[in-house]
Amino acid sequence: MGVLYITHDMGVVAEISDEVTVMYAGQVVESGPVAAIFAAPLHPYTRGLIRSMPRLTSIPKTRLPAIAGTVPAPQAYPTTCRFAPRCPLADDHCRTHAPVLEQHAAAHAVRCFKPGQPS
């Protein structure tokens, strides 16, 4: 039996899923096995979601890291990289071209011109 579970909580994903598909502004930005994505997230949005997870080692009463900015309205989705307005790695190429979803490794795909680059 397969179960589709939709959440913003990556902690829940890590607990219950074998495979994860990360979507941003209506597009798949990264997909693959949970273990591979948590070990080495390739898309800046995925890294932002994982960074914002509360952890037992988090310092009490401190703010969790957040992804700056807001999701655009569907009628205002950029025709280039949809995450570019919020991405710390965005450059002129990202703001003028649209990345496609590409296989990075077996069963691990990402939509980004700079997969895996630290952000």
**Residues near ligand SF4, by CB under 6 A:** 44, 81, 83-84, 87, 89-90, 94, 99, 112-114
Which residues touch 93 (CB under 8 Å, ≥6 apart)?
A: 113
Strand order in the sheet with 102-105: 19-24, 27-33, 108-110, 102-105
Is 99 within 8 Å of 81 (Cβ atoms)?
Answer: yes
CB of 44 to ligand SF4, least distance (A): 5
Closer residue to ligand SF4 (CB): 31 or 83? 83
CB of 91 to ligand SF4, least distance (A): 7
CB of 60 to ligand SF4, least distance (A): 32
